Every structure is written in C-alpha cells, then in structure tokens.
Chain A
C-alpha cells in the first residue's frame, strides 16, 4: 500500500508491456504501417492538387490516426486476459486504476507515440508547412493519449465477448468524435491564420478529463469482465 511499492508496481507494468512490445515488434509495426498506407492512399485517390490536399490534410490524417489507434486497442488487455496475467494484475495490492494508467501509458508509447513521430512526414506529403505542421504534431501529441485512454474503457468492456474487434469500434468511435473535431480543427484554424490555440486547449482539457475518469471506468470494467 505504500508509495514506493506503488511506483515499483507501476514501473514494472510499464516496463513489462514495453518489453513485450519489443519482443513482438510485428504487432506494433502493423498499426503504424496501416496509418502510413491509409494516409498515402488519399493523395493517390483525390489527385495531386496541392490546394485540395492541403484542405483535406487535417481531417484525413486525424481519421487515419484514429483508425490506427482503434486497430491497436485489441492489444491492451486481450492477451493478458487469455493467459491469466490480468487476474494476477487485479490481485496486486495497489489501486487498480493506477495500474491501468500504467498499462495504457505503455500502450500509448507503443501505438500513439509512433503516430506523433511520423506525423511531420505525413503532413509534408499533404503540403502542410510551418505553423500548420507544428500544430498537427502538437494536436496529435495531446490527442493520441486521450484516444488510448478512452479506447481502454472500450477494450475492457468487450473483454471475452465474441466479435469484440467490431464491437469495440462501434463503442469507441463515437466517443472519439470530440477529439477528432478539436484535433482537425486546430490544424485547420492554424492554416486559416487564426491560430490553433483554442482547439489545442480543448484537446488538453479532453486529455485531463480522460486521465481523470478513464482509469476508474476501465478498472470497473475489468473487474466485471473477470467475474
């Protein structure tokens, strides 16, 4: 129950999940490659008009990031659920929401952070430059942890349910709408010259809110899933 024990447990969870991700690099690569391919298909389909590409850039990149996040959600709890590591996690003598936060953080490092790091390259492909590109990176940096946080609730709710992959999409995608609107909005408004600060602050607010509520909801959902 003491503080050092909590830190140790939290570090252990994050470190174990990162180590596991390192051992199964292909899983991680899939969702990142998916993002790159989806984002590259649009210029091919829409045509190489710089003006058109710049207009759709924010929306396309954000939707692609959203789908890539969704694709990786299955990895958060399913494997642990099947091999019994999850029930052991519930018995760790530390508050479960904190442990869940550690797990979601590790998931974000593996699936959200690569998106943020790749975004400048993908943005250039759509002709984004200067301030707009910076806003895109910043909006993804603030937005992708929120996506992981919200996604973890969905992933925990559908544990052990048949066809959970599709169900989690139906459950989580509507909840992603505000993040999509603020994220894409930030880039669009910075391209229009009004600055994306307002939307970025809203994204930050979403992140804080999800950091506060999502771990509790996820922990409750996990307890139900394991009953």
Chain B
C-alpha cells in the first residue's frame, strides 16, 4: 500500500499543491491528471524518491520511504518522460543491462518476448535504438513493464508518441498488473480505459 500524507510541493516560488493525501491499495491504478505545470511529474518524482517533498510524508506499507531508501527502490519500476534508453545500444542490450543493474535476471529469450509483446518485431531487436522512431524507442522503454515483477509501477506519460495499438497493449498490461495485486501510479493526459473499480483518479489543479 502506498500512502501520501499531507504532501506539499513547491517549485521556485510557486506552490504546486499542498495537503495532498491519497492512498493507493494493491490492485488499484491511480491516474493523475491535470494541466501542464500542475505538478504531476513532481508528484511522481516524489513518489520514487527523486524529489524530496516540501512537506508531508510518503509511506510504503506504513513506513516512510525516506527510511526505507534502497529497499523501497527495489519495490518500484519507474518509467519517466525520458526513455532511459541508450542510443548506441540495441533494444535487447538496453533491456538486459537495465534488468541486471536492478538485480533482476532476464534471459535473451525473456527480453525478446517482452519486445514482441510490446509490438516490436524481431528485426528491430538488434538495431541500435538511435535508428528507431520515437514511438519505437518509447516501446523499448515500456517493454520493461513486461520484465518487471515489482509491485509498484510509476509511469510518467507512458502513452506519449505511442500509436493506438501500443496504447491498448500498455493499458492491458497495466490491468494485468493490477489484477495480480500490483499498484500503479500513472500520470497522463490521455484517457486510460480501465475497469471502474480499478482506476482511481486524482486531479491536480496547480
């Protein structure tokens, strides 16, 4: 269970949000919406400990994430608005390095399966990602979701530059994750089509 208790965020002089308390239970997907500059990304970066909250605390299973440190990092998969994909490495190499750095084992076969599932054909698996299109690069980044067995997913605008088919694939994956009892926080401008009991909406007004 992920909980925020009266969280506040300030960027420069502007107060983006304050007194924000939400609870995400296993099996739920928190969809964060709001205008540009309303603090959605800041909120997500707080949840993954990249940004320290101005006020308030974030609790994971009842413990402050600032005490859990790396133990908390081991619970989450974060995909930011930057892909975190190296241009000079192939899609397979990128995913394999990412998995081994995070202490997850991923065989070549598992990585290739993940890439297939996110809709990338065999012929692009061994190309340097710099020759791929934006949407294909985004798919390489999102393929990590098919390799991740972590309970908490934090996704920042996962659907940008994806086509309709890939959007459906990722949404399906999110649903599967939630059905297995996982948690997710998704920042997005697009409508996420999830069963009503599963999706939880949070609107940031800025």
B86 touches A85 (CB 8 A): yes
What is the 8 Å Cβ interface bit string for chain B, positions 78-96, against chain A (1 contact, 0 not)?
1011111111110001000
B101 touches A87 (CB 8 A): no
From A11, A24, A85, give the contact of B84 (CB < 8 A): A85
Stretch at the interface among A53-61, A69-77, A90-98, A179-187: A90-98
What is the 8 Å Cβ interface bit string for chain B, positions 99-112, against chain A (1 contact, 0 not)?
01111000000000
B87 touches A83 (CB 8 A): yes
A227 interface residue (CB < 8 Å to B):
yes
In the bound complex, CA of A87 to CA of B49 (Å): 10
Q: Tell me the interface secondary structure of chain B in the complex.
A: loop
Q: Tell me the interface secondary structure of chain A in the complex.
A: helix
Stretch at the interface among A15-23, A144-152, A154-162: A15-23
Residues of A within 8 A of B82 (CB): 82-84, 87
In the bound complex, CA of A192 to CA of B111 (Å): 61
B50 touches A226 (CB 8 A): yes
From A16, A84, A93, A95, give the contact of B74 (CB < 8 A): A93
CB distance from B126 to the nearest CB of A (A): 14
B83 touches A84 (CB 8 A): yes
How many residues of A are in contact with the other chain, CB < 8 A?
A: 28
Residue of A nearest to B81 (CB): A84
In the bound complex, CA of A5 to CA of B88 (Å): 25
Residue of B nearest to A90 (CB): B50
Residues of A within 8 A of B71 (CB): 1, 93
Residues of B within 8 A of A92 (CB): 73, 101-103
Residue of B nearest to A99 (CB): B101
Residues of B within 8 A of A15 (CB): 97
In the bound complex, CA of A19 to CA of B87 (Å): 12
Given contacts A1-B74, A226-B50, A227-B52, contact A89 B101 (CB under 8 A): yes
In the bound complex, CA of A82 to CA of B85 (Å): 10
CB distance from B44 to the nearest CB of A (A): 11
B76 interface residue (CB < 8 Å to A):
yes
In the bound complex, CA of A12 to CA of B89 (Å): 13
A9 interface residue (CB < 8 Å to B):
yes
B163 interface residue (CB < 8 Å to A):
no
CB distance from A215 to the nearest CB of B (A): 15
A13 interface residue (CB < 8 Å to B):
yes
CB distance from A169 to the nearest CB of B (A): 27
24 pairs of residues in contact across A and B, judged by CB atoms under 8 Å:
A8-B103, A9-B100, A9-B101, A13-B101, A16-B86, A16-B97, A20-B86, A23-B89, A83-B82, A83-B83, A84-B84, A85-B84, A85-B85, A85-B86, A87-B80, A89-B101, A90-B50, A91-B48, A91-B78, A93-B74, A93-B102, A93-B103, A226-B50, A227-B51
Q: Which 9 pairs between the two chains have the least Cβ-Cβ distance? A: A84-B82, A93-B74, A84-B84, A5-B103, A23-B88, A93-B73, A88-B84, A93-B70, A12-B100
Task: Give me the interface of B with A, judged by CB distance under 8 Å.
Answer: 48-52, 70-71, 73-74, 76, 78, 80-89, 93, 97-98, 100-103, 128
Task: Contacts A85-B85, A94-B103 known; list 18 others, CB within 8 Å.
Answer: A5-B103, A13-B101, A16-B89, A16-B97, A23-B89, A83-B82, A84-B82, A84-B85, A87-B78, A87-B82, A89-B101, A91-B48, A91-B73, A91-B76, A92-B103, A93-B70, A93-B73, A227-B50
